[in-house]
Structure 1
Amino acid sequence: MAVLTPCLPEPSQKADNGALTALIVGQLAVAASPILVRLTGQDPIDSAAGRMWIAVPILLAWSLIAPTPEKSRWSLKDIALVILAGVAFALDLAGMHAAIATGSVTNATFLVNLAPVLMVLAAWGLFGQRPSGRQAGALGIACLGGVALSFDTLGRGGADPMSDVYGVGSAIAFAAYMLIVQRLRARHASGPVMLWSSLACALTLAPMALADGKGFEMPATLGGLAALIALGSLVHAFGQGLTAVGLGRLSAAAVAPFLLLQPVATAVAVPFVVGEAVSLPQAVGCGLILASLALIRLKGRRG
């Protein structure tokens, strides 16, 4: 059964290049996410919820203005899938923001980006797409990288070891989100998919943000507010939106290597923007994870 690449249309070389460009630009924009989360100064769930409510009206405008040559009817199954995608992304954001707030920005970013590896496990366990020896070796290398990052977290005073748990949970949720969005993009335009999944995400995050009894708290400074607006517009509406455009024209095998752009760009920027130095265990862990992701080659099959 084709799930990772469900009957993707055969793109022309020009369309393929356009999809790659969209994916690259989108991932570079998403790379700003961990830094902007830290700069908002908000509770992690508040910043996650706020970014989504900022993104929804932008995505609504995109859906109304952009041409939709891929129009098709939304079945009940599609509606259920787009809601599930929103819930998965809400769990991803909650986990990622919590990981950033309680631990290292670099650690959080790289653990969250285990998602391509987890996509291999999901494809094997759920759809019988057994990984090759090369893919299994990559998974082992990724696990070693995760151990290196965890050792660094435990050795840093004031860091919460749970931050790594949040990061891994976020990766699991993001892998599910990517698989679902790719399936939906095989039948629907990126604008509506992003709009309805983002609305479902915002509605999922709203009660989570109110659960602490303090209500939703806005950033305390203008700089924090600007960071929150950038999270909603630059990172989600623009970055994730362009990523969804790429997912509609590329297989998982083509997408996975380009997801490495996000953690690399974040790790390069963090020392300059946040002032958080990259330690030797982090460098080793990040290198191992990058090596593992570079080895992953998901093979989409037509059913």
Structure 2
Amino acid sequence: MSKTRANLLLLFAAALWGLGNVAQKTVLAHLDPLSAVGLRCLIGGLLVLPFVLTERRLPAGPGYLSSLARVGVLFAISITLQQLCYLGATVTNASFLVSTATVMTPLAAWLLIGERPTASLTAAAGLTVVGAMLLSGGIAGLSSGDLTAILSAGCYALWMVELGRHMQAHARPFTAAATQFLGAAAFALPLGALQGNLSLAAAFAAGPELAVLGVFSTAIAFGMQIAAQRFTSASHAAVIVSAESVFGALGAAIFLGERNSSGSALGAAIILGAILSVAMSNRTPQARTPSLAGPVPFDAAPAFAAVPAAWAGNRLALNSGPKEECDDPCG
């Protein structure tokens, strides 16, 4: 897969997340946050699980299980905090605040794995924050929901760095996706049953929202991100998926009546401009250490991208011939 195609997959995932943020808000009319997270992740995990069998022959590098565990724990914490933030934050504000992971991710990548962001990437990250602030109309006072959204963004930044490192060292994107989704479900559902209002009646009442969140926002969107991050850096991915704030504000205006000003439109344009500059760029951040493992066969991921012919053609390119410098981020 080319980096441009990976970036476009991330942009499409951001659209699914942004529009799905409306469902994250409205599902709370029927379910508590923990039950909502558990059920959406259970749906997503069950949808991905059959594809895990296609990866059983793919090799895994050293430290595979511990790496997968770190990714799974960070994902469960991040998605739970994100759902909790909707108890006290509007869809527009939550979309903006979660997108501050755009700035946190390059910093986390630099500190944790020595991946220095390029000047253009740093500028794009800054522009997305400015644009997102204009989009949301600014934050006059941070509520508990807003603070939870910021904490979620920090966890997502760590998750994206760890996910990028994991996917560069190991194949098996479906296994990574299923582990994260089912792990989050195993964490959230018992808590929802004990402390929330988890029941069959509540689950059926939230059926439309759970279908959107489980199928589109979880199985498809996160699945595409997991597959795409083998071919682009965590810092690039963070900037591109910040488009979630644009689509989230659009969905909030259409479905919930949250109105936005001309300044919001300007903010959306700034974000999209920054995203396009990163998505079409061929430069990637430079890491101080070599990749944890060489390229491995990547047979299963095409189902996420719906472009099997193009992905199959890239399999040979990944395993033979010279490799362009910095074409893939280092772990």
Shared fold, TM over 0.5: yes
Q: Which residue of 2 aligns with 1:6?
A: none
Which of 69, 82, 101 is the aligned partner of 1:96? 82
Query: Deviations along 1:92-117, whole A, 9 cap, x unmatched?
Result: 11221122221110110111112221
Counterpart-to-counterpart distance in 1, 2:64 and 2:203: 41
Cα deviation, residue 255, structure 1: 2.8
Q: Is the 8 A contact 1:252 1:299 kept in 2?
A: no
Residue number in structure 2 paired with 1:164: 146
Q: Which residue of 1 aligns with 2:174?
A: 191
Choose between structure 1 and 2 for higher RCO, CA contacts under 8 A separated by at least 6 residues.
Answer: 1
8 A Cα contact 2:37 2:80, kept in partner: yes
Gaps of 5+ in 1: 1-10
Relative to structure 1, the CA distance from residue 132 to residue 257 in structure 2 (aligned partners, 3 Å threshold; closer, same or farther) is: closer
* Distance change in 2, residues 1:83/1:117 (3 Å): same
Quote how far apart the aligned CAs of 1:133 are. Answer: 6.0
Deviations 1:43-82 (A, max 9, x none): 2222111111111111112223xx449811364x221222
Q: Is 1:48 paired with 2:37?
A: yes
2:20 is matched with which residue? 33
Tell me if 1:125 matches 2:143. no
Residue 241 of structure 1, CA deviation: 0.6
Question: Per-residue displacement from partner, 1:175-198 (whole Å, max 9, x unpaired)?
Answer: 122222222222212111111122
More displaced, 165-174 or 183-192? 183-192
Cα distance change on mapping 1:69 and 1:106 into 2, 3 Å: same
* 1:27–1:243 Cα contact (<8 Å) kept: no
Gap change, CA 1:143 and 1:185, over 3 Å in 2 = closer
Specify whether residues 78 and 219 from structure 1 end up closer, same or farther in structure 2 by C-alpha distance, changes over 3 A only.
farther
TM-aligned CA deviation for residue 90 of structure 1: 1.6
Q: Hey, what's the Cα distance between the residues in 2 that align with 1:207 and 1:170?
A: 21
Counterpart of 1:225 (choices 207, 226, 236) is: 207
Deviation at 1:87, TM superposition (A): 1.7
Where does 1:254-269 land on structure 2 (aligned, <5 Å)?
254-269=236-251
Task: Find the partner of 1:60 among 36, 49, 56.
Answer: 49
In structure 1, C-alpha distance between the alignment counterparts of 2:128 and 2:117, rounded to whole Å? 14
Give RMSD over aligned pairs. Answer: 3.4
Task: Report if the CA contact (8 A) 2:78-2:153 is conserved.
Answer: yes
- How has the CA–CA distance of structure 1 residues 215 and 87 changed in structure 2, closer, same or farther, with 3 Å as cutoff? farther
Following superposition, the deviation at residue 236 of structure 1 comes to 0.6
Deviates more, 1:254-263 or 1:45-54: 254-263
Deviation at 1:17, TM superposition (A): 5.2
* Structure 1 range deviating more: 255-264 or 280-289: 280-289
Q: Compute the displacement of 1:260 (Å).
A: 3.2
**C-alpha deviations, 1:234-270, integer Å up to 9, x for none?**
1111111112121122234543442133221221121
State the AA in 1 paired with 2:23. Answer: L
Aligned residues: 282
- Percent identity reads 22
Q: Equivalents in 2 of 1:172, 1:229: separation in Å?
A: 27
TM-score in terms of structure 2 length = 0.71
Amino acid at match of 1:209: G
Q: TM-score, normalised by structure 1?
A: 0.76
Q: 2:266 & 2:200 partners in 1: Cα distance?
A: 37
- Aligned AA for 1:205? A
2:17–2:248 Cα contact (<8 Å) kept: no
How far did residue 219 of structure 1 move?
6.5
Distance in 2 separating the partners of 1:188 and 1:285? 37
1:4-15 matched pairs, under 5 angstroms: 13=2
